[in-house]
Structure 1
Amino acid sequence: MTEQHNNAHLAVSLMDLTSLNTADTSNDIKQLVESINPQLGTPAAVCVYSDFVDDAKIALAARELNHVKVATVTNFPTGDAPLSDVINETLIAIERGADEIDLVIPYKALIAGDENTVLEYIQQSKKACGTQAKLKVIIESGELKTEALITKATNLAIQGGADFVKTSTGKVAVNATLEVTKVMLSAIKQSGKVVGFKAAGGVKTIADAKEYLALTRSIMGDDYLQADTFRFGASSLLSDVYKALEK
């Protein structure tokens, strides 16, 4: 197997295949699941709006892909919802069968210097997830901009009990970048805790994915590159990867 082939295989297994469009319908989610070709590899999860968690579960079960997790988003995408709404959203999503909750922190509060609010959103969401769902915390790095704020947000996510720290919603001007990945992974490494990392938004090709994999390997080591600790949030990456694997 070539290096490209290996990278492609690995990228599929670490992917959160995502559809978070405001116009999504049940049929779109069904088509998303149908785009998975198990012979070429299955993603770690599909990530959809909470209203479609049921649809995703049913579509995966119909194709005997029950091992693929279903993730959803809360406080998405602006990070502005009241905490009580966010917790309510979380509990409903888990009731619908969500395995993973991707929470957007109130990042504007963090920019304004209010760390306590951010920590509370993370801790309360973690509590709501209990043992039923993993918590992935979206810090919206493109809006935080500075290394200091990105590091602070990553540390707050770890402190609050996040299972993963995720770069972005994919809904702002700047999403995942290699520079930000380096900052976030370094913070995770320094914490000494086992916390995952998710690069979301802008990872569209195997060439993109390869750079993230290489950077992550250099900071965290080979063992970190598994679905329990590393994910790509992507919508168009799957087709590029499958193209390479079909060759």
Structure 2
Amino acid sequence: MSLEQAARLALQCLDLTSLNDGDTPATIDALCRRAIGADGRGPVAAVCVWPRFVAQARAALPAGIQVAAVANFPDGSLDLPRVLAEIAAIAEAGAQEVDVVLPYAALKQGEASEVAEFLAEVRHATRPLTLKVIIESGELQTTELIKEATRLSLMAGADFIKTSTGKTAVSATPEAARAMLAEIQSSGLGNAGFKASGGIRSVADARGYLQLAADALGVEALQPRRMRFGASGLLDDIEAVLAGQASQAVQGAY
């Protein structure tokens, strides 16, 4: 696909994200204005924020843009009461989507049954919201663990499997994406989606992930119900490409 086609697809599938420690109401106001795309480029799929900003974002955005918030983030602990309380607060504030971190450290220690039970409880608590499970692929490191985390998330009923929090040394990689997409494809779940997140700052990078998703899931999966990007800086490059400027990697915080 051309760079312009990739930019338009990435825009439609973008979770415009701000998960910085210093975020303020003014930060979220600016994020929501960018998400709407008042300059005519079109809206993003969703805005992803800390739980405390959900109500503000929901009030600022049109119904067509989803509001997502993070739970169990970024540490991915096995503290079920904590994550259930966070999910309840997120839902009550008006979000449509929740991004939850899989307890990846527990999985690395062989506690797969505990992780499965955790995810089952999370799925029950999040319905009917869209659930994205962040497996933190850079910390899992091995293909075997990445695939196991993906399978556990799919078995629990996750709507999307997401690569990363963007808060670790290694975020999304093509290798991890291939492993995750292969598990999604082989699961036979035709509605499960993939989210690439962390370190994706150029349309050229996004195009690579779009191609991987198309190869594994078919071109029909290249829409917001099955494909997402979690990013902040990526929007800068999307806007540049759509304006006819050269694509370039943009330094971002996520």
The TM tier, using the shorter chain, reads over 0.9
Aligned to 1:183: 179
Q: How many residues align?
A: 241
Report SS of the residue matched to 2:213. helix
Q: CA deviation at 1:130?
A: 1.7
Q: Tell me which amino acid in the other structure corresponds to 2:142.
A: T
Q: CA deviation at 1:81?
A: 5.4
Shift of 1:22: 1.0
Change (3 A) 1:79 1:150: same
Of the three residues 228, 233, 236, the one matched with 1:236 is: 233
Which amino acid in structure 2 is aligned with residue 43 of structure 1?
V
**1:139 corresponding residue in structure 2:** 135
Aligned to 1:35, what secondary structure does the other structure show? helix
Q: Distance in 2 between matches of 1:191 and 1:199?
A: 19
- SS of 2:41's partner is coil
CA distance in 1, matches of 2:67, 2:235: 16
Matched, 1:170 2:166: yes
Structure 1 residue aligned with 2:210: 213
**CA positional deviation for 1:42:** 1.0
Shift of 1:243: 1.3
| Structure 2 CA distance for aligned equivalents of residues 165 and 71 of structure 1 | 15
For residue 58 of structure 1, report the CA deviation from its aligned partner: 1.6
- Counterpart Cα distance in 2 of 1:46 and 1:244: 21
Identical aligned residues as a percent: 45
SS in 1 for 2:30: helix
Write out the 4+ residue segments of structure 1 that deviate beyond 6 Å after TM superposition.
Answer: none
In 2: Cα distance, 1:186 partner to 1:240 partner: 28
Please list every run of 5 or more consecutive structure 1 residues that lacks an aligned counterpart in the other structure: none
**Secondary structure of the residue that 1:41 maps to in structure 2?**
coil
1:72-87 mapped onto 2 (5 Å cutoff): 72-80=69-77, 82-87=79-84
Q: Which amino acid aligns with 2:64?
A: H
Q: Which residue pairs with 1:48 in the alignment?
A: 49
1:204 aligns to what SS in structure 2? coil
- Of 108, 111, 116, 1:119 maps to 116
Tell me what 2:101 maps to.
104
Give the root-mean-square deviation of aligned CA atoms: 1.1
| Residue type at the aligned position of 2:160 | F
Q: Tell me which residue corresponds to 2:60.
A: 59
The AA in structure 1 aligned to 2:132 is: K
Could you tell me how far apart the structure 1 residues matched to 2:25 and 2:120 are?
32
Q: For residue 23 of structure 2, what is the aligned residue in structure 1?
A: 24
Whole-Å separation in 2 of the counterparts to 1:14 and 1:222: 14
Q: Report the Cα distance in structure 1 between the residues aligned to 2:140 and 2:203, rounded to whole angstroms.
A: 27
Who is 2:14 aligned against?
Answer: 15
Describe the superposition over 1:177-235 as per-residue Cα deviations: whole angstroms up to 9, x where unpaired: 11100000000101101211000001101111111111111111100111000100000
Contact 2:138–2:171 under 8 Å retained in 1: yes
Deviation at 1:78, TM superposition (A): 0.6
Q: Alpha-carbon deviations, 1:73-112, whole Å to 9, x = none?
A: 0000011251011011101100001110100011111000
Equivalent residues of 2:50, 2:70 under 8 A apart: yes
Structure 2 gaps, min length 5: 245-254
CA distance in 2, matches of 1:123, 1:81: 12
The question of whether the paired residues in 2 share the 8 Å contact of 1:40 and 1:246 is answered with no
